[in-house]
Structure 1
């Protein structure tokens, strides 16, 4: 009840405005109806890695990559494709520290998850190495996860996993080299009691990062690991 009143007062004093075009927002979100309708949805994808499929399917199917080399995680929820407005929101958050984008991305992700995903015991944002964190000043995955956690009432785990290797940027690397680059990058530093964990990140390209993290979680005794990302590249 208190939270509702806070939202009402905030919307009155600072009405939501679309980040993308400047029009009035709706449903307490900084996005308008028009921009919302034109977000690039990821509606036909592999159920395990969320790779976009060229041929539509009426039933959940696996892509060729997951059939030949199964990832350590069980399922991926990526409601948007990494292009257009979604790419702009993620890029502006990551490289320009536009924190308002994290709130909007978290709300958009939570909305889709609320309708589709089975609730995990906790959400684990992909950790940044301390050197990368100092350079950037924040972890975009944590900023998005805070909103998702609040919207879905699922606790965050920010302390159990540590990224102890400062891996180089992976933009120019192939999928095979990305996996090699991330080998042994993560470690568990506190006991895990959750049996179902959702790894959360901003965007998924090849899945190498979340595969390595999921493998570490599975080795620590976690039974089910899902991946929640705003967009699939």
Structure 2
């Protein structure tokens, strides 16, 4: 028997959340999490720090790797086609965005998570408006952590970032669809070949879960893309027709 998805009621949630946040900011005005200056409107980020965030303007359409000049695909995607179909990554990974991501990932900062979610929501709304994203997926699938890592950290930052996006755009959130079955070594310590071997067979799909036709595989940062390639390959093998990748930030260079 398939496990049915449960969608969020976005309109009701947005109205309640919006009213609660306006009351919060009326009592305690926002301040910039990066420099301490007064925040802007409903965001704990000042205008100057917001302007310092680097946009991923010229990038490979398939994997969002930043490019020096416009091109349909980067060399890596031409040589080794990824399992995912398209990628949406609005920012480059670097200062000061890396500080906010670190606050969320290792500092358990809910305020940083809220700022990052607001930035991502605004970028996604713009991408939908200008046609950079043709259609929303049926569901968002956060990249899962292995149970060991989840116990150490206490939460999955990809899931926490996915929640407000799902709520804002009325999308189904499917954190149980993909599982990480094997604890793996840190990817940052490995070369490209070792990264692929390290992640081979690290994911599996819950066969009892309802299978959407189109999903967005979501993570906070896309570095080399090796993790997302393996996760997308697993989803495709399970019968999901289209897998897009959504990440908030993209590392400028492969390591």
Equivalent in the alignment of 1:110: 121
**Relative contact order, CA 8 A, sep 6+: which one is greater?**
2
Equivalent in the alignment of 1:199: 217
| Pair 1:99–1:4, CA change in 2 (3 A) | closer
Equivalent in the alignment of 2:65: 51
CA distance in 2, matches of 1:8, 1:97: 23
CA distance in 1, matches of 2:27, 2:172: 29
TM-score, normalised to structure 2, is 0.86
The Cα offsets for residues 1-43 of structure 1, whole Å up to 9 and x where unpaired, read as 4443223212212322211111222231111112111211111
CA distance in 1, matches of 2:103, 2:18: 29
Tell me whether 1:155 sits opposite 2:172 in the alignment: yes
TM-score, normalised to structure 1, is 0.93
| Pair 1:148–1:27, CA change in 2 (3 A) | farther
Equivalent in the alignment of 1:218: 236
Tell me whether 1:166 sits opposite 2:183 in the alignment: yes
Which runs of structure 2 are paired with 1:1-233 in the superposition (5 Å)? Answer: 1-55=15-69, 57=70, 61-116=72-127, 117=133, 118-189=135-206, 190-233=208-251
Q: Secondary structure at the match of 1:54?
A: coil
CA distance in 2, matches of 1:191, 1:151: 24
Note if contact 1:72-1:215 (Cα within 8 Å) is conserved in structure 2.
yes
- Equivalenced residue count is 230
Q: Which runs of 5+ in 2 are unaligned?
A: 1-14, 128-132
CA distance in 1, matches of 2:18, 2:189: 46
Q: Secondary structure at the match of 1:198?
A: strand
| Pair 1:89–1:2, CA change in 2 (3 A) | closer
| Pair 1:33–1:16, CA change in 2 (3 A) | same
Note if contact 1:145-1:156 (Cα within 8 Å) is conserved in structure 2.
yes
Query: Bigger shift: 2-11 or 78-87?
Result: 2-11
Q: CA deviation at 1:149?
A: 1.7
CA distance in 2, matches of 1:168, 1:30: 35
Q: Secondary structure at the match of 2:195?
A: helix
